[in-house]
Amino acid sequence: MPYRIAAVALVLLLAGCQPLPHPFEDDRPAPRAPIISLRNATSVAVAPVAGLDGDARDQLAGAIAGALVDLDVLASAESSSRGSLSLVGTARSTGSGVAVDWRLVDPGGQALGQGSDAAAVGLDSLNRGDAAALKALALATAPNVAKLLQDDAPAAQAEIAPLREVVVLPVSGAPGNGGDALKLAMTAALTQAKLTVLPEKTGEAKTLSVVGSVTLDRPQNGQQHIAITWALMDPAGKQLGVVKQENAVPQGSLDGRWGDVANLVAAAAAPGILAIIEKAEQVRSGT
């Protein structure tokens, strides 16, 4: 029988430690709710890059954040939360190009790693906001930052049971950039929870799949009812369980970028997915 978990409060994970972004600010967790045990999904706030002129500082930060997102790292140059890591960097001319000396620091200011990456671009081009130059330097920098984060993944991959390997499939029905944002956020949340999240289309026959879908009702009195469903499917396509999240949101509030809302939704739902996996493991072992 499929295992069903209701997660009505979409943002309960962070309700006690920081202001909640509209439109989910009215939700609060039940006392001692077990679903709040999951740590926040790791996100990276990219600071304006020193050593550049004016708008170029923000433009390079945005390019680096975009390159990190392409590598499945939750990153933004526009917003951050209290739990975000910070990426700070300084651009300098190397004679043959431009390098970015960067440091990744935790919320307490402790350095987690550092590096220096360069591209064959001109400092003048960066300061003019040349898109190709910004992208080249961002693509040189992002992989080593991402690798630093991925190095925190579980080391003993060979010992991970198949039920601990999942693929997060595209999320359907979400307005705005919700489909991409929710998929990326759930990938990060499950990775943070020490599951092995395999890239789409590379999962083997024994891989479980997390399938997300969003339903947004027609507006009524300035509000819309939203339901987000996360189904865990076995390799044969059988549904093992469902985590469902529901709320009322202001009309049109999710039509654009979801930002940290996607992180909060995924962080609240991930423990339910883990609970379904644990139930399946118990059934498999006969306990």
Where in the sequence is the domain holding 104, given as residue range(s)? 44-150
Among candidate residues 248, 62, 271, the one with its CA nearest the CA of residue 186: 271
162 and 275 in a single domain? The answer is yes
110 and 144 in a single domain? The answer is yes
Quick one: tokens of 19? 């202001």
pLDDT in tens, 89-122: 899 998 889 999 998 888 777 777 888 899 999 9
30 and 112 in a single domain? The answer is no
Contacts of 188 (CB under 8 A, 6+ apart): 41, 42, 43, 72, 73, 74, 263, 266
Neighbours of 124 (CB within 10 A): 12
One-letter amino acid identity for 286?
Answer: G
57 and 108 in a single domain? The answer is yes
279 and 142 in a single domain? The answer is no
Predicted confidence at residue 147, as pLDDT, reads 84
Has this prediction a pTM greater than 0.95? no
Predicted confidence at residue 228, as pLDDT, reads 92
Predicted confidence at residue 281, as pLDDT, reads 78
Neighbours of 201 (CB within 10 A): 7
Mean pLDDT of each 10-residue bin along the chain, 287 residues long: 43 30 37 29 80 92 89 76 78 89 83 86 92 93 84 37 78 92 93 86 70 89 91 80 88 90 92 88 70
Predicted confidence at residue 150, as pLDDT, reads 64
pLDDT in tens, 198-228: 887 655 556 888 988 998 888 999 999 999 9
Contacts of 5 (CB under 8 A, 6+ apart): 241, 242, 243, 244, 272, 275, 276
Predicted confidence at residue 129, as pLDDT, reads 92
Predicted confidence at residue 7, as pLDDT, reads 44
Taking CA atoms, 228 is separated from 8, 73, 222, 263, in Å, by 10, 22, 20, 13
Q: Tell me the β-bridge partners of 44.
A: 75, 85
23 and 134 in a single domain? The answer is no
The CATH number assigned to the domain holding 195 equals 3.30.160
129 and 205 in a single domain? The answer is no
Rounded CA gap, 58 and 285, in Å?
Answer: 53
Q: Tell me the β-bridge partners of 196.
A: 165
Rounded CA gap, 72 and 152, in Å?
Answer: 14
50 and 96 in a single domain? The answer is yes
3-state secondary structure of 163: helix
Q: Are 285 and 279 in contact (CB under 8 A)?
A: no
Predicted confidence at residue 141, as pLDDT, reads 93
Contacts of 239 (CB under 8 A, 6+ apart): 2, 231, 232, 233
Domain boundary among 150, 165, 187: 150
**Domain total for the chain?**
2
Domain boundary among 150, 181, 200: 150
Quick one: tokens of 54? 């004016």
81 and 119 in a single domain? The answer is yes
Among candidate residues 267, 272, 265, the one with its CA nearest the CA of residue 24: 265
